[in-house]
Amino acid sequence: MLQNFLRLFPAGSEAGQVWQSLIQAHTADAGRLAALQTGYFQQQIALWGSMLARESGAATTPSNTADGDGDKRFSGREWRDSPYHDYVRQAYLLNARFLTELVETAGLEPPVKQKLRFYTRQLVDAMSPANFAATNPEALQLALETNGASLHAGMRQLIEDVERGRVSMTDEAAFEVGRNLAVTPGEVVFENALMQLIQYRPATAKVRERPLLMVPPCINKFYILDLQPENSFVRYAVEQGNTVYMLSWRNITEDSLGGLAWDDYIEDGVLKAVEVVRAISKSEQINALGFCVGGTLLGAALAVLRARGEDRVASVTLLATMLDFTYPGDIGVFIDEASVAAREAAIGKGGIFSGKDLAFVFSALRANDLVWSYVVNNYLKGRTPDAFDILYWNADSTNLAGPMYCWYVRNMYLENKLCEPGALSMCGVPADLGAIGLPTYILATREDHIVPWKSAYRSTRHLRGELRFVLGASGHVAGVINPPAKQRRSYWTNDRLPAESDEWLAGATETRGSWWTNWDAWLQRFSGGERAAPKKSGNAKFKPIEPAPGRYVKVRV
């Protein structure tokens, strides 16, 4: 039976090799496999019997051998009203359960089991009967009600998405950067080949003495932090009296920029932004914030500054950031020596790593939510997806310079050198995170599939100084973009920082609402008093170039 699964994967592929390891593990314990198969067959026989009883009238209610309660894919009443589709649904859920149990009971090393979990989930998600017109009763009913118009509309959207090269997740006509996204007032006050620096206009008569520099991820556009006014983190920070600066990364679309390295992103990106912000604000020290890869770059840049003996930052905020890549989560499935070496050979000395490839990886981590639900909605039901600003941003891909990407993946994900003192040299100096020694606010989110919160917690092992770790509800983006006015979700705090994340959570206190207010109260302690708000952006040396959000962020791939 297990051998049949190998036929689903190309010979010699990593997925095929991982499945082969599963077969070998269960072959070594035939009794365990026999017990699993016996239980599976008994459940399938019981399901078949309940369906026959229902067909003959002996049973009048849907069977519940594998009810799948809470599964949004099967929430429509059509799945239970029809004996056929009720059987298809439950047979699928039994199959999914059996495959999951095969993986979980196999005696395998953790890295192999992690890959098996991932590949099994991808297979199970893809084979859902909800994903196929012939076995989705909701799609069939809608096709009957519309005389096939829904299927016609779905085919048209499928053709458009094939041309676009991705599955549409939102009504993209509803948004435009600079029109209703990234509209917090400000000016670009500096630019080089790699980035633009935006200074936002003050919203208060007095501002905090120390300005705040935000470093967003270079693998996505900065406006995740400045969406619409009601959920803009930038606007909130400005309204609290901060003079906010934003680093806007260049979308690498030109071969001439394909040779940029990790050190360039630090020196000409983060450190140059720090220099310009200090010059404009006339402040010896600034506060700095990094999100995701932006936080990794910021941590690396601060280690460089410390190695140079320069004290230019007063406090650090790290949002959904990994500095220790020991447990990278499901992203680690895509990264091994062979794949990294292949990338290095292709683009390690020059070239462009496509943002669309990155977007595919991130979508695959949550395929049911970010792929298959839209396949069903857009193609089987012919519906246009709702307008959602976060998903518009998610589809606005950003390319990276090949050398930078390859260096990052090898030294962080594959070899995990950043958290090892002196193991990495960046910008000509050895890096030591422990030497940074700054007050640091670390936010992780509980359902983050890109930066697992327990991995983010490991930063507390390597950083020194006053540390505050906060755990937000929801995922990588929704957990970060959680404005206080909406009074949604919650966050957990614990002043103690034990070595293990589970111990920290066991002693944590949950607070309803947004972590933003908690962060602002913390940041205020390092703001250095108040002064009159600047009347204009920039200064004599760094004059405004163009209005925010600038040109760089509008370049699409």
Domain ranges in the chain? 3-129, 186-346+397-554
Residue 320 DSSP code: S
pLDDT at 101 over 70: yes
Residues 6 or more apart in contact with residue 304 via CB below 8 angstroms:
266, 271, 426, 427, 429, 431
> Where residue 166 falls among pLDDT bands split at 50, 70, 90?
confident
pLDDT confidence of residue 142: 96
CA-wise closest residue to 18 among 156, 139, 112: 112
The C-alpha atoms of residue 207 and residue 211 are separated, in whole angstroms, by 9
Q: What is the pLDDT of residues 44-70, one digit of tens each?
A: 999 999 888 887 776 655 566 666 667
Q: Percent of the chain at pLDDT above 70?
A: 95
> Where residue 459 falls among pLDDT bands split at 50, 70, 90?
very high
pLDDT confidence of residue 28: 72
pLDDT confidence of residue 61: 59
> Where residue 8 falls among pLDDT bands split at 50, 70, 90?
low
pLDDT confidence of residue 54: 81
> Where residue 374 falls among pLDDT bands split at 50, 70, 90?
very high
Query: How do strand 313-319 and strand 286-291 relate by DSSP bridges?
Result: parallel
pLDDT confidence of residue 7: 56
The C-alpha atoms of residue 47 and residue 66 are separated, in whole angstroms, by 8
Query: To which residue do tokens 């036929």 refer?
Result: 7
Across 376-391, average pLDDT: 95
In order of 61, 177, 271, 422, 504, the CA distances from 393 in angstroms are 45, 9, 26, 37, 33
pLDDT at 6 over 60: no
Q: Which CATH number fits domain 186-346+397-554: 3.40.50.1820, 3.90.1150.10, 1.10.357.10, 3.40.800.10?
A: 3.40.50.1820
Helices marked H in 172-212 — which ranges?
none
The C-alpha atoms of residue 321 and residue 139 are separated, in whole angstroms, by 41
Query: Which structure tokens are listed for 32?
Result: 């365990």
Among candidate residues 292, 406, 419, 427, the one labeled active-site is 292
Q: Tell me the backbone φ, ψ of residue 132, rounded to 5 degrees.
A: -125, 135
Across 258-270, average pLDDT: 97
pLDDT at 24 over 90: no
Across 79-107, average pLDDT: 91
pLDDT at 212 over 90: yes
- Predicted TM-score of the model (pTM): 0.92
pLDDT at 105 over 90: no
Q: How many residues does the chain have?
A: 557
Q: What is the rounded average pLDDT for all residues in the chain?
A: 92
> Where residue 248 falls among pLDDT bands split at 50, 70, 90?
very high
Across 176-194, average pLDDT: 98
> Where residue 37 falls among pLDDT bands split at 50, 70, 90?
confident
pLDDT confidence of residue 362: 86
Residue 419 is a catalytic residue: no
pLDDT confidence of residue 16: 66
> Where residue 204 falls among pLDDT bands split at 50, 70, 90?
very high
